[in-house]
Copies of this chain bind each other. A is one copy, B any other.
């Protein structure tokens, strides 16, 4: 077991796969010589050379489109969108081309590619550099969506994403780049589509993703110690495929569900999960489902405002406590 930062785990995961598969290539803005603006890809150019690790112009449509063209002709490209907000600039390539081509060609074209991006807020970057866009991708049939919450998963899920035969949107949380964690030695691969119960509990289920996972775990600890509430925390890890079985299993046990979403409220992934549980898990619900999300606003830049916008452990504790006490 080595201890790595979430940031370093990105390069580790990519390197592991480039090492074993010559068809894996990587392109993006300032990713090669500079090692990425978040320093997540440092060392890859030196190790794999300019044919496999390429700096591009500021041309997101060309970057993502080139990845698609390469994927349909025998390569496994990884393309970086520096900030996830920039998906909007290449959204046609992602939502209309990459996501739909396998279906439109009845399987003639396969697109094994990964679109990596720095996602989410917390860095005071303001509304155009802080969005959580995982739900945008979840809404598009044909895409897989991954958002790891810790360094080990960054490596393991990155490996799985690169090996996956389908296009994968891989969201790296800016807020977690500096976080350290143990990463298994040797080749590490985690399957896509498996949520993990990171904390067992009996009174309620808290479903979270990426940067919201550590906050939910902290909240769960405080709920236990300060309020005698036993919360189970589920780390979704991937939105597509979605591990519905684990969610329903947990709710069957706890009868209460909370989602913790960094995205603005409307049509976030938590809404989809609520709609699944209120259908398939309806009879096990003892109380309303509460979604804890960023309000339906663009993200503000000022520290006090951004901290008030994105769900915190405090807000999770307060919401869960109020809801459960109301029910008593």
B-contacting residues of A (Cβ < 8 Å)?
Answer: 85-86, 88-89, 91-92, 94-96, 99-100, 103-104, 126-128, 135-136, 138-142, 240, 263-272, 274-275, 277-280, 282-283, 285, 287-291, 296-298, 300
Interfacial chain B residues near A96, Cβ < 8 Å? 85, 88, 127-128
Interface centre among A85, A271, A277, A285 (most CB of B within 10 A): A271
Asked if B103 and A298 sit within 8 Å, CB to CB, the answer is yes
CB pair B291 A275 closer than 8 Å: yes
Chain B residue at minimal CB-CB distance from A89:
B92
Contact check, B138 vs A298: say whether CB atoms are below 8 A apart.
Answer: no
Q: In whole angstroms, how far apart are the Cα atoms of A243 and B114 in the complex?
A: 39
**B contact residues around A89 at 8 Å (CB):** 91-92
Residues of B within 8 A of A296 (CB): 141
Given A89-B92, A271-B275, A280-B288, A127-B139 contact (CB < 8 Å): no
Residues on the B chain within 8 Å of A94, using CB: 88
A127→B291 CA distance, assembly (Å): 32
The answer to whether B128 touches A135 (Cβ under 8 A) is no
Contact A267–B138 (Cβ < 8 Å): yes
A290–B298 CB distance below 8 A: no
Of all chain B residues, the one with the shortest Cβ separation from A279 is: B288
What is the minimal beta-carbon distance from A290 to any residue of chain B, in angstroms? 6
Given contacts A88-B92, A280-B288, 17 further A-B contacts (CB under 8 A): A88-B91, A89-B91, A91-B92, A99-B298, A100-B127, A104-B128, A104-B298, A136-B139, A138-B266, A140-B264, A271-B271, A271-B272, A275-B289, A275-B291, A277-B278, A278-B285, A278-B288
Nearest chain B CB to A34 CB, angstrom units: 24
Check A141–B264 contact: CB distance below 8 A: yes
Measured CA separation A289–B46 after assembly (Å): 55
Closest to A286 in B: B282
Taking a contact as CB atoms under 8 Å apart, the answer to whether B139 and A268 are in contact is yes
Contacts of A289 in B (CB 8 A): 275, 278-279, 282
**Given the contacts A100-B128, A282-B287, A267 and B139 also touching, CB distance less than 8 Å:** yes
Chain B residue numbers with a CB within 8 Å of A128 are 96, 100, 104
Q: Give the residues in chain B near A265, CB-CB below 8 Å.
A: 272
- Roughly how many angstroms separate A196 CA and B257 CA in the complex, as a whole number? 31
| Measured CA separation A96–B127 after assembly (Å) | 8
Residues of chain B with a CB closer than 8 A to A240's CB? 266
Which partner residue on chain B sits nearest A282 by CB separation?
Answer: B288
Instruction: Point out the residue from B91, B266, B272, B278 that lies within 8 Å of A91, measured CB to CB.
Output: B91
A135 CB contact (under 8 Å) in B92, B267, B277, B287: B267
Which chain B positions have C-beta within 8 A of A91?
A: 88-89, 91-92
Specify which of B126, B127, B272 is in contact with A267 (CB 8 Å cutoff).
B272
Listed by A's residue number, 29 A-B pairs whose Cβ atoms lie within 8 Å are A88-B91, A88-B92, A88-B96, A89-B91, A91-B91, A91-B92, A103-B298, A135-B139, A136-B139, A138-B266, A138-B267, A139-B264, A139-B266, A139-B267, A139-B268, A141-B266, A141-B297, A267-B268, A267-B269, A271-B272, A271-B274, A271-B275, A274-B275, A274-B279, A275-B275, A275-B289, A277-B278, A282-B287, A282-B288
